[in-house]
């Protein structure tokens, strides 16, 4: 039993490592550089390093965010196209550099952007033999969300309702009602897309 328990923990850890993360997956797509040069083929990206690779006829080229205007992929896992832009962002006081953001919702006056990252978390696994929980580590894909408007540029969102309503303050009362009415979560990607779309629609009326 002790051996099987050890093997189970090891297997779970290997399963976590074996997951496919964005930096490991090729997609059909294209990369457009700032000089308007376009490369179509298989595209792989890594937002943690702001690097994009494109495979055209088995020739792989690597581009940093400083050379990219935007890139687009068809993600079979969600059966849809996804677009990423290299946008200037303040990474330290007084210093901006282009980094890659996925555009989740493009609108006026507010657009919703995202960046992906990988974090490690400890997961409990109960052992019937020892009568206690063991822990194993696994990697997890996480999202950071940002909002963009012409006046303030790109602002990071901290996943709190108070922060969201501040970003949408001129229509905050209606946004709050919309969130409560539809029981939306302010830290969930699809719900944030829906909230942002609703916020922008308020400016059309």
Whether 20 has a pLDDT exceeding 60, the answer reads yes
User: Under a CB-based contact definition with an 8 Å cutoff, are residues 83 and 153 in contact?
Assistant: no
Q: What percent of the chain has pLDDT over 70?
A: 84
Provide the pLDDT for residue 84: 98
User: Under a CB-based contact definition with an 8 Å cutoff, are residues 64 and 71 in contact?
Assistant: no
**Residue 178: in which H helix or E strand, if any?**
helix 172-181
Where do the structural domains in the chain lie, given as residue ranges?
Answer: 2-27+71-157, 158-205
Provide the pLDDT for residue 3: 42
pTM of this prediction exceeds 0.75: yes
Question: pLDDT of 49-77, one tens digit each?
Answer: 999 999 999 999 999 999 999 999 999 98
Cα–Cα distances in Å, from 104 out to 3, 101, 189, 195?
A: 47, 9, 9, 12
């Amino acid at each position: 039993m002790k051996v099987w328990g050890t093997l189970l923990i090891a297997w779970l850890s290997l399963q976590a490592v074996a997951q496919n993360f964005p930096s490991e997956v090729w997609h059909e797509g294209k990369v457009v550089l700032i000089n308007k040069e376009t490369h179509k083929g298989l595209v792989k990206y890594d937002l943690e390093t702001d690097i994009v690779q494109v495979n055209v006829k088995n020739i792989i080229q690597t581009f940093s965010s400083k050379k990219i205007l935007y890139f687009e992929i068809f993600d079979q896992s969600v059966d849809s196209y996804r677009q990423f832009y290299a946008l200037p962002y303040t990474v330290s006081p007084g210093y901006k550099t282009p980094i890659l953001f996925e555009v989740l919702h493009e609108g006026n006056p507010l657009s919703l952007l995202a960046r992906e990252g990988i974090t490690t978390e400890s997961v409990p696994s109960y052992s019937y033999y020892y009568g206690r929980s063991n822990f194993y580590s696994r990697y997890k894909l996480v999202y950071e969300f940002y909002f963009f408007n012409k006046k303030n540029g790109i602002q990071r969102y901290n996943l709190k309702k108070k922060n969201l309503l501040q970003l949408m303050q001129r229509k905050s009362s209606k946004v709050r009602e919309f969130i409560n009415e539809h029981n939306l979560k302010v830290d969930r990607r699809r719900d944030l897309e829906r909230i942002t779309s609703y916020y922008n629609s308020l400016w059309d009326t």
